[in-house]
Amino acid sequence: MPGPDATQPEASCGTCIRLGVATRPGAALYRNGTTGVVTCQDHLPKATPSRPVARPARVPVQPWAPPAQTPSVIREALPSPPPLPGVQSVPPPASGGGRGDAIHTEGLTKRYGERTAVNGLSIRVARGGVVGFVGPNGAGKTTTIRMLMGLVRPTAGQATILGESITRPSRYLDRVGALIEAPAFYPALTGRRNLRALATLGGHGAERVDDLLAQVGLADRGDHLYKSYSLGMKQRLGIAASLLSDPDLLILDEPTNGLDPAGIHEMRDFLQSLGKKGKTIFVSSHLLSEIQRMCDRLVVLRLGTLVFQGTVAELEATSTAIIAVPQQPAQAGRLVALCKAAGHAATQRDGTVTIQAPDAWCAELNSKAMRAGIVLRELRPHTFDLEERILDMTGREAKA
């Protein structure tokens, strides 16, 4: 792919080419000779799948290129993303009021001795759709889920699930299915018998067990002992168990753990189809690419604290910046001042100026720069990919 991509900007000199995916910044460089006349806007729509700022929910997000494709040199040279839009971007509840929400927490806190696992978490997850729950190891995802399932008592704060307080799990748990952390079953029982025990306990029909085993692809292994299952098969059984009650709200803690690529794919399709049926799926995962593909909303935690909640589109909208490189590096300082005067935060490094502004501001910046006598050698919008964005929010060091 580098071939055509790299030549295209040259061939269409005078236009602004944008490759949509930020992981290929090298290929997206725009060379405009010396004129500095760029009209990004005119060309954006046909250039690549554009990213509308207010994307309607559940439009499949374009897949991103694997980060490995970005040479590390280029990656390091990338500007750091703009500051976060803030935690306050709460999507409007689908069916008015907190009572209708699938999940609503207020100041939910859990302390284990000195350590605060979850710290004043206030989130609102409206009903319907697939919601991602991300954060690095130890961020407090599982602890939050345990509190929502009535397994762990919050130290402070409160929460409702499907309109019922988590202090009374029996009022809502028959409408909730969950896979919490690793799947857990009786090792000496067959998969089928394990499910039957749970179906009996929950008062679900026995015929459901066979359906579910078939649904998760364990139909022919159902009569084998659970301890003989592979990791992915155990995970599938766990997913089957979470579906026993045909739940309105499905809480899945790292459901893709151990699944093969086909399994992950199936899982994504399955969860999305459930989401379209009006069910709410609250899914945690470390596979950010998966999260981006299957979720339309996100809740991001770091060290037990909420760092973002909102739609994927919102997060993406905050993920754009403009990169401008003056012909003469000495003019970078003036360019920064110019941008700041126009109300956009800007920073410079090694003669490259990063402006936190929507990509549509390219054209205006270009004419402002011209009027100020700054010739731009390079001008392009830059999109941070979501993974980078989330890593940035949750702290890269925690991931390492």
Q: Which residues bind ligand ATP (CB under 6 A)?
A: 112, 115, 117, 135, 137-143
Instruction: HSE, CB side, 13 Å, CA atoms: give it for residue 397.
Output: 1
Three-state SS for the chain is CHHHHHHHHHHCCCCCCCCCCCCCCCCCCCCCCCCCCCCHHHHHHHHCCCCCCCCCCCCCCCCCCCHHHCCHHHHHHCCCCCCCCCCCCCCCCCCCCHHHCCEEEEEEEEEECCEEEEEEECCEECCCEEEEEECCCCCCHHHHHHHHCCCCCCCEEEEEECCEECCCHHHCHHHEEEECCCCCCCCCCEHHHHHHHHHHHHCCCCHHHHHHHHHCCCCCCCCCEHHHCCHHHHHHHHHHHHCCCCCCEEEEECCCCCCCHHHHHHHHHHHHHHHHCCCEEEEECCCHHHHHHHCCEEEEEECCEEEEEEEHHHHHHCCEEEEEEECCHHHHHHHHHHHHHCCCCEEEECCEEEECCCHHHHHHHHHHHHHCCCCEEEEEEEECCHHHHHHHHHCHHHHC
Q: Which of 123, 139, 114 is nearest to 91 (CA)?
A: 123
Binding partner selected for residue 189 from Mg ion, ligand ATP, another protein, none, CB under the kind-specific 5 to 8 Å limit: another protein
Binding partner selected for residue 203 from ligand ATP, Mg ion, another protein, none, CB under the kind-specific 5 to 8 Å limit: another protein
Binders of Mg ion: how many residues, by CB under 5 A? 1
- Residue 201 CB, nearest approach to another protein (Å): 4
Q: Which is nearer to another protein, 67 or 169 (CB)?
A: 169
Distance, in Å, from the CA atom of 32 to the CA atom of 12, rounded to the nearest integer, reads 9
- Residue 3 CB, nearest approach to Mg ion (Å): 43
Distance, in Å, from the CA atom of 110 to the CA atom of 69, rounded to the nearest integer, reads 40
- Residue 322 CB, nearest approach to ligand ATP (Å): 35
Task: Give the list of residues 6+ apart from residue 67 with CB closer than 8 angstroms, or none.
Answer: 23, 75, 385, 387, 388
Instruction: Work out whether 144 is an interface residue with Mg ion (CB under 5 A).
Output: no
- Residue 292 CB, nearest approach to another protein (Å): 28
Q: Which is nearer to ligand ATP, 61 or 121 (CB)?
A: 121
Q: Which residues bind another protein (CB under 8 A)?
A: 112, 143, 146, 149-153, 169-170, 173, 176-178, 180-182, 184-189, 193, 196-198, 200-203, 241, 244-245
Instruction: HSE, CB side, 13 Å, CA atoms: give it for residue 204.
Output: 23
Binding partner selected for residue 108 from another protein, Mg ion, ligand ATP, none, CB under the kind-specific 5 to 8 Å limit: none
Q: Which is nearer to Mg ion, 142 or 354 (CB)?
A: 142
Q: Which is nearer to Mg ion, 145 or 355 (CB)?
A: 145
Site string for Mg ion, 32-61 (x = CB under 5 A): ------------------------------
Q: Which is nearer to another protein, 152 or 362 (CB)?
A: 152
- Residue 301 CB, nearest approach to ligand ATP (Å): 7
Q: Which is nearer to ligand ATP, 46 or 115 (CB)?
A: 115
Binding partner selected for residue 115 from another protein, Mg ion, ligand ATP, none, CB under the kind-specific 5 to 8 Å limit: ligand ATP
Binding partner selected for residue 21 from another protein, ligand ATP, Mg ion, none, CB under the kind-specific 5 to 8 Å limit: none
Binding partner selected for residue 153 from another protein, ligand ATP, Mg ion, none, CB under the kind-specific 5 to 8 Å limit: another protein
Distance, in Å, from the CA atom of 172 to the CA atom of 165, rounded to the nearest integer, reads 9
- Residue 140 CB, nearest approach to ligand ATP (Å): 4
Binding partner selected for residue 135 from Mg ion, ligand ATP, another protein, none, CB under the kind-specific 5 to 8 Å limit: ligand ATP
Q: Which is nearer to ligand ATP, 121 or 365 (CB)?
A: 121
Instruction: Work out whether 142 is an interface residue with Mg ion (CB under 5 A).
Output: yes
Q: Which is nearer to Mg ion, 245 or 285 (CB)?
A: 285
Q: Which of 136, 137, 156 is nearest to 147 (CA)?
A: 156
Binding partner selected for residue 154 from ligand ATP, another protein, Mg ion, none, CB under the kind-specific 5 to 8 Å limit: none
- Residue 198 CB, nearest approach to another protein (Å): 5
Site for Mg ion in 227-266 (CB under 5 A): none
- Residue 393 CB, nearest approach to ligand ATP (Å): 14
- Residue 172 CB, nearest approach to another protein (Å): 9
